[in-house]
Amino acid sequence: MDEMDQLRKEADSIKDQITAARKAGQDTSLQEAVAGITVVGRVQLKTRKTLRGHLAKIYAMHWGTDTTLCVSASQDGKLIVWDSISTNKVNAIPLKSSWVMTCAYAPSGNLVACGGLDNMCSIYNLKGKDGNVKVMRELAAHTGYLSCCRFLSDSEIITSSGDCTCVLWDIETGTQKTVFAGHQGDCMSLAVSPDFKFFISGACDFTAKLWDIREDACRQTFSGHESDINAIGFFPNGNAVITGSDDATCKLYDLRADQELITYQDSSIMCGVTSLAPSLSGRLILAGHDDFNVNIWDTLKAERVGVLAGHDNRVSCIGVSTDGMACCTGSWDSFLKIWN
Amino acid sequence: MSSKPHSANTIAHTRRMVQQLRIEAGIDRIKVSKASADLMNYCSDHARNDPLLMGIPASDNPFKDKKTCTILHVLVLFTETIDPSTARPLATDETWLHGF
């Protein structure tokens, strides 16, 4: 047997070990464990605000931390920072490249970032001395599109890319601190853990991976989806991961049990999931779909408890504010809506 | 079994993949019952502070529009007219207000 065959045999054997270890942990299922609790009542949210101003498809939005400000990115080539209560545009930032796919708000509120088909992550300083918003850094090294980015602080940001890697950057020097390689397909989405020690990535290889930021290591890999994972998020306590896929389902994976606990699916839902966000307590999962709707799930009972219908095109992004008071959806119809 | 000779790159890549699998196989795992219980407890502990789950009373909702009162107030001002003989405001016709 040549070395390649030996390695493949070993890989299969280890995969079997992992499957067996996971099975050994299945002393029950989440479904059985929650049998005694009631499904949450029907959730009916209303559109409270419509943020109008973008002239083309909105691809991404991100709430600021502990604020009612949020940033959105559209292929009209603009990044807009909105005051979601007054609906005023606090900043309207023209971009060098209009092919933007992601945006992020720094926890400090000082910076925003965006990127897309230009393969770069551009950092903008909102609090510059002269009041003008300027590009502070252009983080270039990815060899594929920028699908997602999230700030750890004003000096560090993590990006995911179509080149199958995620990268931790030093914003000050504009250099790569760590390259997280391992996915076998385009990385589509990432989310940082509440304690900022880990991040998770979802990719077109149908898997989600948990990465230790400081140890530069992939700790766990989760499979099960039958198509690209487009959206990913942490359950609020950081112990579980929620994924949304082109296979029209969402899944909940527990990190400490190292396995999938439940799938959120319905035969009537046939369109891919584009985005997702948990509510403050984690009891609800809001998932945006290609069919212009947002489905609201009872996280524990895996039943659909609400629908947000109001957009005239694909819901491309969704986010729940840090105080849990509102949900924001962004769509290819060029509008953002605030619901609660 | 492929008879094509494998490049050094492919073998190195597969070695890395096997090494990664070893790391992932070696972690400690808790039982699904414990994982489920912890999720349920977190949800119930935080449910009452979850505005989207519990609903938000109109008075506490900063996103809810409060414009209607202002419009009514302005319309009331415009309907007051002065009686030339008494120089006093005529009784405001409130019947249309009751319609709201």
The reply to whether B7 and B46 lie within a common domain is yes
Nearest CA of chain B to the CA of A108: how many Å?
23
Side-chain half-sphere exposure of A151, counting CA atoms within 13 A: 24
| CB within 8 Å of chain B, chain A residues 165-224 | 182, 217-221
The reply to whether B28 and B77 lie within a common domain is no
Predicted TM-score of the model (pTM):
0.90
The reply to whether B81 and B48 lie within a common domain is no
pLDDT reported for residue B87? 58
Which band of pLDDT confidence, cut at 50, 70 and 90, is reported for residue B9? confident
Domain boundary among B37, B56, B75: B56
State yes or no: pLDDT of A184 exceeds 50.
yes
* pLDDT tens string A95-127: 999 999 999 999 999 999 999 999 999 999 999
* pLDDT tens string A231-241: 999 999 999 99
| CB within 8 Å of chain B, chain A residues 54-113 | 68, 84-85
ipTM surpassing 0.85: yes
State yes or no: pLDDT of B97 exceeds 90.
no
CATH number for the domain including B40? Answer: 4.10.260.10
Span A324-328, average pLDDT? 97
Residue B87: which domain range? 65-100
Taking an 8 Å cut-off on Cβ atoms, the answer to whether A237 and B38 are in contact is yes
Nearest to B35 among A8, A85, A254 (CB): A254
Taking an 8 Å cut-off on Cβ atoms, the answer to whether A25 and B29 are in contact is yes
CB of A306 closer than 8 Å to CB of A31: no
Nearest CA of chain B to the CA of A134: how many Å?
31
Nearest CA of chain A to the CA of B31: how many Å?
4
Nearest CA of chain A to the CA of B90: how many Å?
38
Q: How many domains are contained in chain B? A: 2
Q: Is A295 on the interface with B (CB under 8 A)?
A: no
The reply to whether B51 and B29 lie within a common domain is yes
Taking an 8 Å cut-off on Cβ atoms, the answer to whether B39 and A182 are in contact is no
Contacts of A3 in chain B (CB under 8 A): 6, 11
What type of residue is A215?
A: E
The reply to whether B76 and B46 lie within a common domain is no
Ramachandran angles phi, psi of A130, nearest 5°:
-85, 5
The reply to whether B50 and B20 lie within a common domain is yes
* pLDDT tens string A252-303: 999 999 999 999 999 999 999 999 999 999 999 999 999 999 999 999 999 9
Contacts of B6 in chain A (CB under 8 A): 2-4
Contacts of A294 in chain B (CB under 8 A): none
The reply to whether B33 and B52 lie within a common domain is yes
Which band of pLDDT confidence, cut at 50, 70 and 90, is reported for residue B92? very low
Which band of pLDDT confidence, cut at 50, 70 and 90, is reported for residue A133? very high
Contacts of A48 in chain B (CB under 8 A): 61, 63-65
Span A72-93, average pLDDT? 97
Taking an 8 Å cut-off on Cβ atoms, the answer to whether A11 and B17 are in contact is yes
The reply to whether B43 and B20 lie within a common domain is yes
Counting DSSP H helices and E strands in chain A, the numbers are 2, 28
Tokens, residue A183: 């996915």
Q: Which residues contact A110 (CB under 8 A, 6 or more apart)?
A: A125, A126, A127, A154
pLDDT reported for residue A5? 93
Taking an 8 Å cut-off on Cβ atoms, the answer to whether A21 and B56 are in contact is no
The reply to whether B72 and B51 lie within a common domain is no
DSSP state, residue A143? S
Q: Which residues contact B94 (CB under 8 A, 6 or more apart)?
A: none
The reply to whether B73 and B25 lie within a common domain is no
d(CA A193, CA A323) in angstroms, rounded, equals 17
The reply to whether B81 and B44 lie within a common domain is no
Nearest CA of chain A to the CA of B64: how many Å?
6
CB of A223 closer than 8 Å to CB of A231: no
The reply to whether B19 and B43 lie within a common domain is yes
Chain B, nearest residue to A282 by Cα? B43
Strand A303-309 relative to strand A259-264, pairing: unpaired
Nearest to B43 among A68, A182, A283 (CB): A283
DSSP state, residue B60? G
H-helix segments, chain B: 8-25, 32-46, 51-54, 67-79, 95-98
Positive or negative torsion for Cα A205, A208, A213, A216? negative
Please tell me which residue, A20 or B68, carries the higher pLDDT value. Answer: A20
